[in-house]
Amino acid sequence: MVATDKLKILIVGGHDIVRKGLAMLVSRQDDLCVVAEAGTVAKAVEKAREYIPDVVIMDIRLPDGSGIEACRDIRGENADIKVLMLTSYSGDDAVLGSIMAGASGYLLKKNHSQEIVDAIRKVDSGLSLLDYMVTARVLKRARLSDKNDVLVQLTDQEQKILELIADGQTNPEIAGQINLSNKTINNYVSSILSKLEVSPQ
């Protein structure tokens, strides 16, 4: 199998040892090929634009910001690129962060190596690894009416945008649908993340 027949993988992580470990794991697979690595949000977007990977493995925590924003930027430019978010735990923040980013799923850093390579293949084939029940619970929490809960203090427009994101739409698609600029949608996404207190784990 020549390199061009392999799935192209971009690995993004703030820690060199994590990136190298993932790169070694991916490189051992006959059908996968690491085309680039990045350690920051800025480099991730730049490398994705340059190499057009099939799948990006994205750490949520990066030195210059959040992998959530990097994922939104990458998929905003090219919705065909699939993204798997890396997180330390599988709590609601991780799920919501993945939803907000337009990712195809999230992986725990402690996942078995075979689960990681299987996940790469699954999202490339179009499957979502976001657990439906967990995702539904998170979105329900975001729509509750208890004003004392910081998770629900969203405007009607923010709730609408959150639901469109959950449907897998990118920023440009949402902007076109509700007649707002892409920059305005980016601002809404940042506001939603702030209100929902999604922290980069």
Tens of pLDDT, residues 27-61: 999 999 999 999 999 999 999 999 999 999 999 88
pLDDT given at position 161: 86
Instruction: Please list the alpha-helical segments (H only) found in 107-197.
Output: 113-124, 132-143, 156-166, 171-178, 182-195
- Using one digit for the tens of pLDDT, what is the confidence trace for 113-144? 888 899 999 889 887 776 555 666 666 665 55
The domain over range 134-195 is classified in CATH as 3.90.650.10: no
pLDDT tens, residue by residue, 147-189: 445 446 778 888 888 778 767 677 778 889 999 988 898 788 7
Q: Which letter, b or e, does each residue of 40-60 get, where b requires 16 or more Cβ atoms within 10 Å of its Cβ?
A: bbebbbebbeebebbbbbbbb
Whole-prediction pTM: 0.73
**pLDDT number for residue 140:** 64
What are the residue ranges spanned by the domains of the chain? 3-130, 134-195
Cα torsion 119, 125, 126, 129 to 10°: value is -10
Q: Name the pLDDT band for 145 (thresholds 50, 70, 90).
A: very low
CB-based contact 105:98 (threshold 8 Å)? yes
| pLDDT given for residue 148 in this prediction | 42
* pLDDT of 25 above 60: yes
Give the whole-angstrom CA distance, residue 148 versus residue 132: 26
Instruction: Please state which architecture CATH assigns to domain 3-130.
Output: 3-Layer(aba) Sandwich (3.40)
